[in-house]
């Protein structure tokens, strides 16, 4: 198992299994002072690290000590004994080969016979290049003895190849045998004085032996040749941090992070009280390809149509939106389903050895998500106030824009009512259009910015996931794509102003025609001769007629009526219910409630609605009133009195 994974699992075991034995009760914690809590925290971290080391030894697992809670990096003490073993001059090739053969015999004498036989079998089957690869593989699989034996044999088989000897020197360094590494590097730096790999390994060897001055000299020489060498930058950062040069240390760490990411490096940065944006550092590298995967997988095809700028465009916009919503919903559920890890995929990831860039991918995804989290929402905190102001201003303007009312005299007919509705439309529609234009222009600007952020975010997620393409990494990208479609759906549903035209604008009449009708009504008012006003009660029906209209209405319980307006040509059919009441011959009441529908001379529907009337009569007077509520004509009501009640009504309205 990968050493990082082992370390985290061991720490988890420590905290979970040891919790009931180590944690004091809540009452004790609540009484601790800040300094006591800090000391207690350090004690718990120390106990957790100690327990992790015990478990690692018990289960023969190698752990990365740099991720333990109590780990503190320290510069090595100068090892004078081993430094004295280094030859003052570079050895010859023959002397190096003899020293390596001696080391092989010494190591084999201390190694169990099965391991020696295993290595000899491997060396018999492979050439020098194959042995170099096998040595690296054995080291990564936590088999240091096999790795050293294979690497020494690879160097002997390639006596004139600098890479084979440099790899052996690096392996000596990692095994704590720096005094054996330095003679090799001395010999090869005579041949290749500008070789950055050799210079770096020489610097690492002297650093391991505690000779900081010589280590700095070789590491700086390495960086003069290879500015972004991750190992040299890391070691120079560690040296600078221990000397209190924090800014200099950060400079070296940031150069290291452009090439490689280690949790130990990030941990040291945090311990220095600093932070670093890995995603930004990686984007700064011009040699790292950044593909437009957002476009390659077709996400740019799902475009939100241009938002409507006035209420006349609302119906067309809604039709486009409804069609797009079906596609977006299908995509959302597809990607959400694809993002779910199956049990088999979990098992596959569990059996998989973490890749070389596993830690880098984890850190980059964390940094990438933190950077983009506040950029992926359409409405920010600072957008709430202006958008809320637009809405309040819109409704205030509508409320203040009082429509002109038609006269109560019904002689004007349906056309006059329509004319006034047209004028009301002319008053309200510009307010609706102005609001939609302002609101949707604001949303469009925010949408363009946010869509660009989503594109960069998804491209980054895919790019990072490719560093360590586990099933979990792939599924996380699928989940992000699903969230993108969820964003589009939410935007369409909640963020667009899509006001319909005001109800008065349903009238099919031009403003010019409306003006002509209203002017004619104001200028011409013909009186109807009294002899043309008729009313006959032909129980159960009543017939009425005058210069403008005639009507027939009546029935018992269930009522029906017909009215023809001579001036407008409008015919009205009505049906409903009525009821009469007589209270001890003192008060008589008559109430009607009817549904009506009107047609013009071309049999086109002009209005639909409710109307009603009521009459109350006594010996000293009475009241009669009526109302109508039409789809096009709106609401109208009137009350008239008779006798004493007529005077009371007139007085109360003054």
Q: According to DSSP H, which parts of 226-357 are helical?
A: 230-242, 246-257, 263-271, 278-283, 293-296, 314-338, 343-351
Q: Please tell me the least confidently modeled range out of 52-66, 147-161, 519-533, 575-589.
A: 519-533
Which distant-in-sequence residues (6+ apart) come within 8 Å of 370 by Cβ? none
Is the model more confident about 510 or about 442? 442
Top mean-pLDDT range of 208-222, 512-526, 552-566, 595-609: 208-222
Q: Please tell me the least confidently modeled range out of 8-12, 200-204, 214-218.
A: 8-12
CATH no. of 80-226: 1.25.40.10
Determine the average pLDDT of the residues in 573-595: 70
Confidence of residue 14 (pLDDT cuts 50, 70, 90): very low
Q: Please tell me the least confidently modeled range out of 68-82, 321-335, 456-470, 615-629.
A: 615-629
Note the maximum CA span of the chain: 142
Percent of all residues in the chain with a pLDDT value above 90, rounded to a whole number? 29
Q: Which residues partner with 536 through β-bridges?
A: 543
* pLDDT reading at 649 higher than 50: no
The residue among 245, 240, 238, 232 whose CA lies nearest residue 265 is 238
Residue 40, exposed/middle/buried by CB under 10 A (0-12, 13-18, 19+)?
Answer: middle
Amino acid 382: pLDDT: 93
Torsion angle in degrees (nearest 10) through CA of 578, 582, 586, 592: 0
Amino acid 486: pLDDT: 92
* pLDDT reading at 517 higher than 80: no
Query: Rounded to whole angstroms, how far apart are CA atoms 412 and 405?
Result: 12
Q: Nearest 5 degrees, angle CA 86-CA 89-CA 92? A: 100
pLDDT tens digits, one per residue of 360-407 = 567 667 777 788 888 889 999 999 999 999 999 999 998 888 888 777
- With both helix axes pointing from N to C terminus, report the angle between 128-140 and 162-174 in degrees, rounded to the nearest 10: 20
Domain ranges of the chain: 3-67, 80-226, 299-504, 528-652
Neighbours of 319 (CB within 10 A): 11
Confidence of residue 2 (pLDDT cuts 50, 70, 90): very low
């Amino acid at each position: 198992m990968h050493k990082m994974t082992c370390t985290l699992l061991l720490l988890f075991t420590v905290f979970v299994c040891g919790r009931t034995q180590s944690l004091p009760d809540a009452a004790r914690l609540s009484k601790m002072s800040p300094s006591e809590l800090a000391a207690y925290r350090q004690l718990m971290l120390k106990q957790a690290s100690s327990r992790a080391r015990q478990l690692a030894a018990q289960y023969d697992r190698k752990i990365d000590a740099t991720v333990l809670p109590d780990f503190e990096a320290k510069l090595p003490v100068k090892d004078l004994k081993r430094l004295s073993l280094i030859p003052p001059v570079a050895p010859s090739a023959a002397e190096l080969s003899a020293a390596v053969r001696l080391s092989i015999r010494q190591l084999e004498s201390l190694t169990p016979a099965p391991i020696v036989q295993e290595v000899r079998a491997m060396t018999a089957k492979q050439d020098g290049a194959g042995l170099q690869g096998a040595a690296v593989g054995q080291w990564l699989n936590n088999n240091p003895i096999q790795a050293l034996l294979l690497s020494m044999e690879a160097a002997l088989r390639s006596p004139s190849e600098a890479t084979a000897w440099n790899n052996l020197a690096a392996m000596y360094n990692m095994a704590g045998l720096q005094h054996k590494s330095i003679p090799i590097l001395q010999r090869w730096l005579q041949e290749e004085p500008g070789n950055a790999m050799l210079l770096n390994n020489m610097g690492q060897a002297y650093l391991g032996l505690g000779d900081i001055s010589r280590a700095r000299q070789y590491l700086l020489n390495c960086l003069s040749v290879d500015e972004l060498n991750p190992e040299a930058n890391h070691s120079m950062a560690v040296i600078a941090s221990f000397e209190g040069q924090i800014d200099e240390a950060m400079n070296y760490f940031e150069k290291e992070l452009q090439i490689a990411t280690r949790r130990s490096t990030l941990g040291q940065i945090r311990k220095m009280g600093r932070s670093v944006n890995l995603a930004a550092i990686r984007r700064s590298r011009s040699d790292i390809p950044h593909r437009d995967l957002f476009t390659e997988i077709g996400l740019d095809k799902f475009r939100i149509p241009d938002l409507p700028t006035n209420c006349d465009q609302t119906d067309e916009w809604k039709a486009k939106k409804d069609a797009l919503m079906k596609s977006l919903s299908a995509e959302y559920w597809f990607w959400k389903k694809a993002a779910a890890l199956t049990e088999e995929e979990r098992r596959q990831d569990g059996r998989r050895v973490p890749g070389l860039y596993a830690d880098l991918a984890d850190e980059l995804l964390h940094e990438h998500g933190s950077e983009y989290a506040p950029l992926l929402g359409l409405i920010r905190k600072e957008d709430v106030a202006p958008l809320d102001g637009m809405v309040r201003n819109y409704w205030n303007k509508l409320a203040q824009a009082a429509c002109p009312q038609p006269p109560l005299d019904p002689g004007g007919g349906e056309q006059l009512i329509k004319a006034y509705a047209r004028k009301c439309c002319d008053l309200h529609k510009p307010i609706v259009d102005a609001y939609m234009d302002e609101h949707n222009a604001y949303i469009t600007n925010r949408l363009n910015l946010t869509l660009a952020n989503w594109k960069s975010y998804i491209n980054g997620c895919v790019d990072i996931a490719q560093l360590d393409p586990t099933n979990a990494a792939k599924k996380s990208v699928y989940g992000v794509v699903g969230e993108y479609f969820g964003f589009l759906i939410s935007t369409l549903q909640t963020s667009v102003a899509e006001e319909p035209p005001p109800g008065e604008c349903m009238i099919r009449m031009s403003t010019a025609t409306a003006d002509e009708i209203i002017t004619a009504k104001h200028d011409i008012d013909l009186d109807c001769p009294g002899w043309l006003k008729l009313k006959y009660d032909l129980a159960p029906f009543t017939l009425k007629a005058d210069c403008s209209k005639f009507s027939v209405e009546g029935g018992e319980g269930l009522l029906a009526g017909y009215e023809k307006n001579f001036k407008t040509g409008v015919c009205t059919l009505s049906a409903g219910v009525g009821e009469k009441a007589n209270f001890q011959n003192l008060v008589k009441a008559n109430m009607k409630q009817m549904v009506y529908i009107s047609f013009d001379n071309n049999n086109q529907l002009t209005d639909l609605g409710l109307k009603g009337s009521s009459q109350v009569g006594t010996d000293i007077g009475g009241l009669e009133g009526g109302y109508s509520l039409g789809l096009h004509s709106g609401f109208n009501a009137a009350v008239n009195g008779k006798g004493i009640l007529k005077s009371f009504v007139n007085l109360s309205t003054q």
